[in-house]
Structure 1
Amino acid sequence: MVYSTFQVIDENSNPVDEKCLTPSILEILEGHKENPVCGSNAWIQIGIEKGYTNLTSSTAVRTDVAFKYPFPAERVSEDQHAWLRYSAGGGDYIYSPHIPSKYRIPQGTPTVSRARIMHYYEQKAAVDTDGFLEALRIAQENGKFKGDKDSLLVKFYVKLAETLGRENQNKLAAEQIAKAASISLEKTKEVLELKNLISMEWAKL
């Protein structure tokens, strides 16, 4: 899998300043600037550090890999779900910043998917979680992950909460923290403190 970064443009094809971007879009671009996702087992880095990493329009995938791990039927985060499984199934991530695409976001309105889908963030949380759990299952079956499953899941839920919190989805973010705490309260506190998130409204335990 080869992916690149992108430049956000408005409805008139003018570049959009980063200060005008939604937090979740900004999070993707931030992930490209420092230590972009690369190599094998990229699903771990995506799940616990970066969050959503590569736009479909900025991604090229080998046909045999795409055929083996098709997109799910969902209409929210279906690409993220597929990317996680691609990686867990043995696909390598390659980042190439020299072939950026352009991503149109009309200003003053949410992205198309968020505008047309009710309960967008609830669906995103559910699909991202299912994709990560499925990636974990695939990696375990292939013998590519033999680490601490509980620690990994705690970090995943905290990262998902962080992404949702940046979009002011505080209740939903708090639900992810509760899931992490149900696995290990001690590990959840440790991760929140390490990421300097312990003071966030949605991070209260």
Structure 2
Amino acid sequence: MPPATTRPDTVGFVIPYFDDGSAWRRDCLRSTLASLERQTDPAWSAYLVDDASPAPDTAEFLAHLASSLSGSLTVLRAPRNAGAGQARNLGIAAAHRDGHALLAYLDADDLAHPDRVAAVRAAFAADPELDFAYNDVAFIDEHGAPWDPERLLPGLRMLDEEQRLPKLRGRERWREQAVERDNIAIPSAMNVRTDLALRVPFPEVPFCEDVATLFRYLGSGAKIDHVPGVPTGYRVPLEGGSSSRKQSGGVDAFNRMRCRNERAGLEEAIATAVRRGAADERTGREVLCRYLIRIGRTVSADGSPELGRSQLRQAHALDPETFAVHATAAERADLPAPSTAR
């Protein structure tokens, strides 16, 4: 359905929110919304989607926030608790109905840089073909203080290090994203044209829906660029570790869901690229093999060595030639011995 009115250069912030009633979580949301009120460019609206939170007074709390915010805040409620992917899709649809042609994702505990709206609007205005733009992240703790990069968990330290690599720009960059980067951006650092977000919705899976969607964005042929100078404040608590890992049942359970959900997104991206004629099946198989090698190394370093070995075994079974080129000698030696049974 086309929007009732069109605001081609305004930004709709999409914010999924889950409320367990804790004071800390609500304080984080207040800080997130305050970061929007500090925008130097006022051409924005926010769409806050309650992911069917269990706290009994969530609706009252969010209604009070909406009435006290100086900017435009629309509060929505998901019909069931299904994770951030479903919540973002609902926010995307609402922003589209209100005519926003540009979106900025922002999680409910992260902080938008004061110049984010201005920089994002300028980037998309400068390139009418641009579909997706990402900014960097700056790690902050639960008190808003900067992190020492050396103290970050391995996965976050990898993200921090990869920010220093050459930025991905242009089209058909799904190959590099799959085989060379663990992740170029968290959701709170993603900005996208609304029509792309409508064509490529987030999967309704509990974790790692962001990387799966990024694969699918890029596999669709979307043009990507980087927006410098407006890092998102990415909140990582000093105490308590990763909430995603806790909610999933621990590191190994989280990494299993990560491997499954990311692979599903990459396989869909490859299939889309093949249909578009941007890749052939042989190229797609090679990319998937190299992704499995990379993710196997990543989850092994993150505390799931047996899961990592299983990813390497799948890579070898999928494409032995590519595996032989890109696996290390130790990884090749770790494969099960070929069967001699007749």
Shared fold (TM-score, shorter chain, > 0.5): yes
Match of 1:131 in 2: 265
Structure with greater helix percent: 1
The number of residue pairs the alignment matches comes to: 200
Give the Å deviation of 1:203: 7.5
Q: Separation in 1 of the partners of 2:182 and 2:333? A: 18
Distance 2:318 2:215 in 1: 22
State the AA in 2 paired with 1:79. Answer: D
**Partners in 2 of 1:34 and 1:100 — Cα distance?**
16
Secondary structure at the counterpart of residue 148 of structure 1: helix
Q: Is the 8 A contact 2:133 2:227 kept in 1?
A: yes
CA distance in 2, matches of 1:31, 1:48: 13
Which deviates further from its counterpart, 110-119 or 79-88? 110-119
What's 2:279 paired with?
145
Question: Hey, what's the Cα distance between the residues in 1 that align with 2:166 and 2:304?
Answer: 27
Q: Could you tell me which residue of structure 2 aligns to residue 61 of structure 1?
A: 192
State the alpha-carbon separation in 2 of the partners of residues 47 and 22 from structure 1: 21
Which residue is equivalent to 1:181?
316
Amino acid of the structure 2 residue aligned with 1:7: A
The answer as to whether partners of 1:4 and 1:97 remain within 8 angstroms in 2 is yes
Q: Which of these residues, 114, 121, 137, is aligned with residue 255 of structure 2?
A: 121
Higher percent of residues as strand: 2
Q: How does 1:69-88 map to 2 (within 5 A)?
A: 69-88=200-219
CA distance in 2, matches of 1:93, 1:122: 29
Q: Percent identity?
A: 23
Q: Note the residue ranges of structure 1 that are not aligned, 5 or more in a row.
A: none
Q: Distance in 2 between matches of 1:203 and 1:72?
A: 36
- 1:101-120 to 2 correspondence within 5 Å? 101-118=232-249, 119-120=253-254
Q: Deviations over 1:5-53 (max 9, x none)?
A: 1111111111111111111111122222012222212221111110222
Of residues 67, 71, 89, the one that matches 2:220 is 89
Q: How big is each residue's C-alpha offset from its partner over 1:154-191, in whole Å with a ceiling of 9 and x where there is no partner?
A: 21110111221221211111111000110233431320
Structure number with greater Rg is 2
Runs of 4+ in structure 1 deviating by more than 3 angstroms, as ranges, are: none
8 Å Cα contact 2:169-2:225 kept in structure 1: yes
Q: 2 CA distance for matches of 1:97 and 1:159?
A: 27
Q: Distance in 2 between matches of 1:34 and 1:94?
A: 14
- Measure the CA separation in 2 of the matches of 1:151 and 1:162: 17
